A = this chain, B = another copy of it.
């Protein structure tokens, strides 16, 4: 490893160079009128108007926060999808709920041009002039100066060398890649696991493959948006049933005056096993953990309906979705479902 003029030799190397927000080259001419998540929290004042370009997790979270702080926010995304939601119903609910707080222009790319010290943003047939633009189109791994092609492993379009997700090792080299640098999931607990796995394998001098945790994504909007386990897009649609419940009548959501949204759970038709789920609703971050832990433990709808659900709690929404799924299952149900015989 050569750093400037210094050559470093090591038995193993961990690439943990992180990532940088994506800002198209021509936009750099707008200077500090373009904000990214790297400098957003350094702003000393709030602008009067902002266009948020990119309506993934970060764009939605910061867009909603600014709208609630009185900023006139316009959200723009090339796709019809919010927060990476592959479930069309949850996505539609999110568009309706978030769309009440700030304008969402979806389906056309954003074009920026100078407008007397402000920025004119065009997307499709719409346009707006804003003080600042928040570039929230994701992050790219910081790999461009590392000459990783020298490792011999093929590089993908982002410059990430092919590596084993279960060991974090690049090919049969002694080089490991972890965290945002591997361009996988920019999520803290996954990055921490990347690091632990690389460290274990280096210290033990072996290549133990590790099980990755059940996918778990939370958007900290209000209400929360969650995706857990298998995404809608990746499900074998012929072999699943969907349990769902609208948040409207859920007691605990009503007492919080936040009874908006929808919860869906995806269940394997022939086994009753929970495969995943998605939700927009209050306490989504908590329901997400119950769902993810249940998926990781390979629990079935019947297993879960035998767990305690207090009243009135948001977990009753999950109970409702599971009951909805139960009625559609194509399995021989046990004689007693929601209570468990002792023998």
Q: Is the CB of A211 within 8 A of B342?
A: yes
For the complex formed, measure the closest distance between the CB of A25 and the CB atoms of chain B, giving whole angstroms. Answer: 32
Interface flag for A311 (CB, 8 Å): yes
Q: Is the CB of A339 within 8 A of B196?
A: yes
Q: Is the CB of B210 within 8 A of A339?
A: yes
Interface residues of A in 182-238 (CB under 8 A from B): 187-189, 193, 196-197, 200, 208-211, 213-214, 216, 218
Kindly report which residue of chain B lies nearest to residue A166, judged by CB atoms: B342
A307 to B211, alpha carbons, bound, how many Å?
Answer: 11
Report B-chain residues with C-beta under 8 Å of the C-beta of A209. 341-343
- Oligomeric state, in copies: 2
Interface flag for A326 (CB, 8 Å): no
Interface flag for A173 (CB, 8 Å): no
Interface flag for A260 (CB, 8 Å): no
Binary B-proximity of A279-305 (CB < 8 A = 1, otherwise 0): 000010110111011101100000000
For the complex formed, measure the closest distance between the CB of A185 and the CB atoms of chain B, giving whole angstroms. Answer: 11
Kindly report which residue of chain B lies nearest to residue A200, judged by CB atoms: B336
Interface residues of A in 285-338 (CB under 8 A from B): 285-286, 288-290, 292-294, 296-297, 306-311, 313-315, 336, 338
Report B-chain residues with C-beta under 8 Å of the C-beta of A285. 310, 313-314
Report B-chain residues with C-beta under 8 Å of the C-beta of A341. 208-211
Report B-chain residues with C-beta under 8 Å of the C-beta of A149. none
Q: Is the CB of B289 within 8 A of A309?
A: yes
Partner of A289, one of B193, B197, B288, B308: B308
Q: A209-B343, A210-B339 are in contact. Are A308 and B283 (CB under 8 A)?
A: no
A63 to B280, alpha carbons, bound, how many Å?
Answer: 33
Report B-chain residues with C-beta under 8 Å of the C-beta of A308. 189, 213-214, 216, 289, 292-293, 296
Report B-chain residues with C-beta under 8 Å of the C-beta of A307. 213, 289, 292-293, 296
A53 to B325, alpha carbons, bound, how many Å?
Answer: 45
Q: A286-B283, A290-B293, A315-B286 are in contact. Are A210 and B342 (CB under 8 A)?
A: yes
Q: Is the CB of A200 within 8 A of B286?
A: no
Report B-chain residues with C-beta under 8 Å of the C-beta of A216. 308, 310
Kindly report which residue of chain B lies nearest to residue A287, judged by CB atoms: B286
10 contacts between A and B (CB under 8 A): A187-B310, A189-B309, A189-B310, A197-B339, A200-B336, A218-B313, A283-B286, A286-B289, A289-B307, A289-B313
- For the A-B complex with A209-B341, A216-B310, A286-B286 known, give 16 more contacts whose Cβ atoms are closer than 8 Å: A187-B310, A196-B339, A208-B342, A209-B343, A210-B336, A211-B339, A211-B342, A213-B306, A213-B308, A218-B313, A286-B314, A289-B309, A293-B293, A293-B294, A296-B306, A297-B297
Q: Which 6 A-B pairs have the closest CB atoms?
A: A286-B286, A213-B308, A188-B311, A209-B342, A211-B340, A216-B308
